[in-house]
Structure 1
């Protein structure tokens, strides 16, 4: 009973209604009369939201007896009416609210929810939506409403008397504006403002903070209010550098590594050197574009307010918000590029509201640093080009009307003779940067539903073969036909994996690799210069479940070029094969002969034959491959890569099974350059072929390939093909010698 209040309510009925209630704000008023408080009131049988249910549930108000007193009505909280999650206290309406009026009529508002896709920050505001609706409906915006939103102060200055302002990173903060409001009284904001904020999904806090959120909803410019007296001036400098400044300081700078600050949500945040901070003379006071700091927040004791209205580089805000795991209404807007011309307009609007609703006095000067001012964007619009893109001819006067309704300005000195127009883009349309963007604006406002269904009438553009793409697809098809599976691995690698390919050679120099500035992990810090490590990792993971593997990858590697910002990105082909030669099946029987060098060589020969090329295989050396089981492969006299069996140390470094692992890496661009070279067609010989067998005894160290090339060169043009079919060693040829038989 000590927490209940017996209230007499007038609601427009014949008699007053007695209500038993227990809101905290009514307890101190017990025993008083003639209060005339306006509240939200519900009678028996009304359906309300249940404030004590975890799941959304509606209940019907029923007559009850509380402490022996019958009660068939109640005064309502915001949660019971579905306005917000607040249910600790009841709703108090303004003193001029007419008694007996249905609440829905008194509130008299409709909430429209828009699902906005893409980086269109200009649509994250009431005025932005109003512009769109006005253009779509071909009606003007209300000028009286615009005049309220366009109040400007008398003067802008980069050096206001009330603040020492500095931007150390203009690339990340193109503009910073600050207004000063003295003598404010911090209290709850008016009911109408609270209701509008709640309908927009925001929780009212106090009149100062609510005004910053309200103006953000109006104009789309995020604002932040500091307690002016909690901002610290610059510390005194040495005699050589000059005296300190008594004014509070605002310095926009990058964070120092490990710098920390408590944000408004009560979390201690740690920053890296790429994050942008708002600092005063003593340290951070806000995370730029994301959230303010707890130490400088506006409280009930605040009397003077410094109002921040700034513009920040959108990619930096996105990164900061993501890395901190901190998303706010401000970061959502700044992450989509906010118009820098809004800062002063929003600051002036909010300052006037603070003077009106918080009793403050606005400083007639706004501090404004604008190092990132951009020139006016002017685009050329060609109606003929628009007609070709859209497929219909929209009348010129309609094009002018549409662009004008979207606040684009068409120059009066447009070149009528050539039929083109110079169009000035409004500052808030940061997404319009090319003539095709203007065509899109005209098309969407004209209405896609008004486009007639037509057949293609334009000429087809000339078709050109894309040998780069076709060649890669041809290689894929040939390798898949040989029984290999394609894989795709990350381009970002750990440089330690590439060192494993050189077990007995010098390790790679990290300085010769491109490193990602902000890697997600140490395993993804460098851009690869070879495909093999990633392919071997894939093989290791799959060999946990399979006993046979044959995979390939086609991808780019990244080779830095001295003096150039971007690297060369040649394409490479890599293959890894290991395990039994035949897949396990009843046809293969018990034959578990492992894949060896010549199996991989057969795949390469099939690939070259499918491309219509002839390759040569010569003994080669590579730190990743087994000595004596490595070959250099050439096509048309130019080396395309190396193949062989992995060195045992490399195999162990990648934790692969103790069995032969064959691999190769080719320069795909060189291979396809030979494939795409013009071929010379020759007539088929009218004479039947004649096969001759030739045996040559040579020293043991003589390569068979060298003998083959000598026979082919000597016998040209009559000799068309030379194939080694037998090698003999024995007493007949003598020790240290061998017999090579060619056909």
Structure 2
């Protein structure tokens, strides 16, 4: 078998050529068979990092590489050879030929570390006599010299993990704690006053987003930050334009499918949902993570935080009690977004029809807070859905969205005002309107709220009706209105006057008629 070696690979050779890949595997020239009569033993110490990298690059794990990649002290090479000769002579009947060739030009310096009982007390919080500390280290094969309160420890060759200087002191005190017993170290209350703690508002707001989404029944996923342009192109309908920015390729990718930094978190969540559609009837996932876009100037890419959401399948899993097992649609995701933004105490939220290459025409919306767009969501375009390998059991729409987390968290108010619980009873009233199909429901709701003022505490759309009875190109929207005053019980005349004012405003603004 031929192998391609790079310049970092170490070979053991003689005058005729290579005999083995050092510390990993011997060649055919060094094999031992049933006819072998003479054996030459080689003991060596190799650079453990080089052995580890070479074994991985050659995909050649072995007993030798397992040991050498973890480190073998040079002094162990001679001991290993002598032990091998002893076993072959004792149990194999071999004759040992006198002579040992040893090439040991640069012996490593054996770490010598000094600690004191005061160091142990300062690091561990316990008082141990210097003699007891020395005894503990002696039990671990350290050569210990005790001079008053100073313990000078020489490390055994087998302990390659012990450093020098400050690092070595920390390593040695850790060994003392380990042998003394962690359970024997008492808990000690801090004597000093804790300094003022600084919060992390951005992290706290992000955790609030997670808590709200989980409360709405979504599961958080964490996916790789890497993808490929081909995989991410599946989220865009064929023929539609992508973001136009180049993908950033990794210098040392784990594999080709993880060779590029991603442009979309929603694409990653779609991959998770696609995989899980084989084992789940309800898919409801979100992820908060970075995307990487190359800016105008050369250099490091812009790392932007995004929120991706994907929902599909049954609204509720079937159980022993009646449940709504119908499939989720556009309005389920819209409800989650409304609940999220309301839970973050954002004001001035509105939804507008939009077009995006990932979503179905007419079933896509953008979310605005004031005049700033924080995201787009909708039902996946049929041609986008075809590019994913969904389970045949997944019925209904797949709805998804991607949102700008950086902007969203900036808009979350640091403080908000609470309202006192009402002490006077509310008055509930339904209002059914007939208007053109093209008029958005949220526009109607905005006019109702503006006209109702402070006495209108809540507006809720509860029915949408279409029929030839109300005319072609028309629809009926039914709203539940809640009137309430903070300082008195409203009278019928006040409510009637306010209702008439709302109806006149809607007649003027959107040509709405009161449905009889």
Give me the TM-score of the superposition, normalised by structure 2. Answer: 0.63
Verify the 8 A CA contact 1:275 1:320 in the aligned structure 2: no
Equivalent residue in structure 2 for 1:309, among 44, 51, 57: 44
Superimposed CA distance per residue, residues 372-392 of structure 1 (whole angstroms, 9 cap, x where no aligned partner): x98886878575553355342
| Aligned equivalent of 1:603 | 336
| Aligned equivalent of 2:414 | 678
Superimposed CA distance per residue, residues 163-213 of structure 1 (whole angstroms, 9 cap, x where no aligned partner): xxxxxxxxxxxxxxxxxxxxxxxxxxxxxxxxxxxxxxxxxxxxxxxxxxx
Distance in structure 2 (CA, Å) of the matches to 1:427 and 1:465: 47
Verify the 8 A CA contact 2:144 2:153 in the aligned structure 1: yes
Offset of residue 294 of structure 1: 1.7
Residue 230 of structure 2 corresponds to residue 496 of structure 1: yes
Offset of residue 653 of structure 1: 0.3
CA 1:321–1:489 in structure 2 vs 1: closer, same or farther (change >3 Å)? Answer: closer
Equivalent residue in structure 1 for 2:55, among 320, 323, 333: 320
CA 1:436–1:723 in structure 2 vs 1: closer, same or farther (change >3 Å)? Answer: farther
Higher helix share: 2
Equivalent residue in structure 1 for 2:402, among 649, 665, 668: 665
Residue 282 of structure 2 corresponds to residue 549 of structure 1: yes
1:124-163 map, 5 Å: none
Offset of residue 320 of structure 1: 1.8
| Aligned equivalent of 1:359 | 97
Verify the 8 A CA contact 1:580 1:592 in the aligned structure 2: yes
Offset of residue 393 of structure 1: 0.9
Distance in structure 1 (CA, Å) of the matches to 2:274 and 2:331: 22
Distance in structure 1 (CA, Å) of the matches to 2:41 and 2:279: 65
CA 1:630–1:721 in structure 2 vs 1: closer, same or farther (change >3 Å)? Answer: farther
Distance in structure 2 (CA, Å) of the matches to 1:347 and 1:565: 52
| Aligned equivalent of 2:217 | 483
Residue 319 of structure 2 corresponds to residue 613 of structure 1: no
CA 1:357–1:651 in structure 2 vs 1: closer, same or farther (change >3 Å)? Answer: same
Verify the 8 A CA contact 2:245 2:294 in the aligned structure 1: no
Q: State the secondary structure of the residue aligned to 2:396.
A: coil
Cα-Cα RMSD: 5.8
Structure 1: runs of 5 or more not aligned: 1-259, 262-269
Distance in structure 1 (CA, Å) of the matches to 2:4 and 2:367: 52
Q: State the secondary structure of the residue aligned to 1:653.
A: coil
Equivalent residue in structure 1 for 2:161, among 421, 428, 431: 431
Distance in structure 1 (CA, Å) of the matches to 2:276 and 2:50: 38
Distance in structure 1 (CA, Å) of the matches to 2:312 and 2:336: 13
Distance in structure 2 (CA, Å) of the matches to 1:587 and 1:304: 77
Superimposed CA distance per residue, residues 95-124 of structure 1 (whole angstroms, 9 cap, x where no aligned partner): xxxxxxxxxxxxxxxxxxxxxxxxxxxxxx
CA 1:420–1:305 in structure 2 vs 1: closer, same or farther (change >3 Å)? Answer: closer
Offset of residue 600 of structure 1: 0.7
Offset of residue 641 of structure 1: 3.0
Residue 250 of structure 2 corresponds to residue 514 of structure 1: yes
Superimposed CA distance per residue, residues 480-521 of structure 1 (whole angstroms, 9 cap, x where no aligned partner): 4323344455555454321211232248878514365343xx
Distance in structure 2 (CA, Å) of the matches to 1:560 and 1:425: 51
Offset of residue 652 of structure 1: 0.6
| Aligned equivalent of 1:457 | 189
| Aligned equivalent of 2:241 | 505
Distance in structure 2 (CA, Å) of the matches to 1:571 and 1:411: 57
Verify the 8 A CA contact 2:379 2:398 in the aligned structure 1: yes
Offset of residue 625 of structure 1: 1.8
Give the number of the structure whose alpha-carbon radius of gyration is greater.
1
CA 1:530–1:275 in structure 2 vs 1: closer, same or farther (change >3 Å)? Answer: farther
Verify the 8 A CA contact 2:41 2:81 in the aligned structure 1: no
